[in-house]
Amino acid sequence: MSINYTLSKEDFTNFRLKYFFKTKVYKLWLLICDLICLSIWFITLKVNYPAALTLIVIILINIIIRTMLGPYYFKKLFLTKLNSKKYNNLFAETKITINENCLNINTKLSKQNCNWKSVYALYDINNYIFIRTKSQIDMLIPNMAFKSFKDKELFLDNIYKFTNLELKKSYPTQIF
């Protein structure tokens, strides 16, 4: 069985950034911001600044970082990374073929084979199938790549047959 699709940069960006704020990377960054603010507050207590005023200012700074600067910074970082030549292949016309030995991924820029042992996660999230591999080839397949719901089910059934994976419905948190 094979499918053809082209993933747009805009769709990919919207998909990844929609779930980014639930990832471990972002939560770790928030923890670091909290620890920095807490450290600043303890330092200001040592030098006899008004504790209440300092705490209010630090909370406001933390809120600004969490709501404005953090999302802006990570979106800019993500788009910079995405615009590098390394990711050109992601937005080329792609053909994925399933056979007994592996997933064949063909684009105009490359041909890759992922054996079934390397496929370790399968997700169905918001009109996309997301396949993760140990060889760091992540495939985001839009549902519109399938002619019908039946084709999508057949595609997933073939993957189940070769990998024994369960379909997950939530975004992976250990990804950037």
Tokens matching residue 3:
């499918």
Q: 173 near 24, Cβ under 8 Å? A: yes
Per-domain residue ranges of the chain = 2-6+89-168, 9-82
For residue 106, what is the enclosing H or E element?
strand 102-106
13, 79 in Cβ contact below 8 A? yes
Predicted pLDDT at 174: 66
Label residue 65 by pLDDT band (50, 70, 90).
confident
Out of 3.40.50.1980, 3.40.50.300, 3.40.190.10, 2.30.29.30, the CATH code matching 2-6+89-168 is 2.30.29.30
Quote the pTM value.
0.72
Distance CA 145, CA 12 (A): 14
pLDDT digits (tens, 9 = 90+) for 31-58: 988 898 888 888 887 877 777 788 888 8
Q: Say how many C-beta atoms besides its own lie within 10 A of residue 108's C-beta.
A: 11
**Section 152-176 average pLDDT:** 83
| Percent of the chain topping pLDDT 70 | 98
